[in-house]
Amino acid sequence: MIILISVAALVSTFLGGMFALRFKDKLHLILGFSAGAIIGVAFFDLLPEAISLGGAHYSVSYITSIVALGFIAYTILDRFVFFHSHDQDEESAVRKMSERGILGAGSLSAHSLLDGVAMGLAFQVSAAVGVVVATAVLVHDFSDGINTVNMILKNSGTRAQAFKWLLIDALAPVLGVISTLFFSVSESTLGVILAIFTGFFLYIGASDLLPESHHSHPTAWTTFATVLGVAVLYTAIHFAGI
């Protein structure tokens, strides 16, 4: 059963990415939706799970401090490692943008890997817990595929590069599930990891995707797309938890 669910996660992620590739001429709207979806995942999925899993060992303030640490760490990477410089030649600037896209897509793929790990560990607890976690993962995998493709395309990546990272992101949850056959992670450790990724996602959504979606495009429609992204993820996660 767990293998079938992991394959379903792969398919859902892949379809989301193909949707983004198919309608890349509407990239500003998809970026707006992606920003809302990533922020929604951070607030409604990752953060509650981090608090729930780490709550037995850490205070809420400690978990939120880890979130802030993740945000700051990603900011430092973005500003001082993958920064834009107007003094660079065009080729160097494009390379830096590509690196930023890889950083974002890599973070999303790592999150998908953790999704698979979470599913595998949940099924180790019980089938009932496993189904609940798997449902929560499946409902946002489609947007994960969209977000991964968008991170590459908006940073001067090619369609081929976006497709390669989509495949990586789609395979990640399957590999995560398989990996749990060989190890286990404590709930407290997983909670800290999820808190770090909450910070990563908040930065990607609010400081990267959201401003880019409004650039040279109608603010009203991109804002609507962002709100829609938040609403869709909230609704999906809410019903998945029932």
Alpha carbons 164 and 174: distance in angstroms, whole number: 16
Alpha carbons 242 and 240: distance in angstroms, whole number: 6
Give residue limits of the domains in the chain. Answer: 2-240
Provide the percentage of residues in the chain whose pLDDT is more than 70: 82
Provide the percentage of residues in the chain whose pLDDT is more than 90: 17
Give the per-residue pLDDT at 155. 79
Is 0.75 topped by the overall pTM?
Answer: no
Predicted confidence (pLDDT) per residue in 5-34, tens digit: 888 889 988 988 898 888 877 777 877 888
Higher pLDDT pick, 76 / 28: 76
Higher pLDDT pick, 222 / 88: 222
* Residue 142: partners with Cβ closer than 8 Å, 6 or more residues away: 12, 13, 15, 16, 19
Alpha carbons 150 and 79: distance in angstroms, whole number: 20
pLDDT reading at 242 higher than 90: no
Mean pLDDT of the chain: 81
Give the per-residue pLDDT at 166. 94
Higher pLDDT pick, 66 / 216: 66
Predicted confidence (pLDDT) per residue in 46-65, tens digit: 899 889 888 889 999 999 99
Give the closest residue to 109 by CA, choosing from 160, 138, 151: 151
Higher pLDDT pick, 109 / 184: 109
For residues 86-113, give the mean pLDDT: 72
Give the closest residue to 148 by CA, choosing from 223, 209, 190: 209
pLDDT reading at 88 higher than 60: no
pLDDT band at 71 (very low <50, low <70, confident <90, very high): very high
Give the per-residue pLDDT at 63. 96
For residues 217-242, give the mean pLDDT: 81
**Phi and psi for 95 in degrees, rounded to 5?**
-65, -40
pLDDT reading at 172 higher than 60: yes
Give the per-residue pLDDT at 8. 87
pLDDT band at 86 (very low <50, low <70, confident <90, very high): very low
Location of structure tokens 């949707």? 19
Alpha carbons 84 and 156: distance in angstroms, whole number: 12
Higher pLDDT pick, 121 / 129: 121
pLDDT reading at 79 higher than 80: no
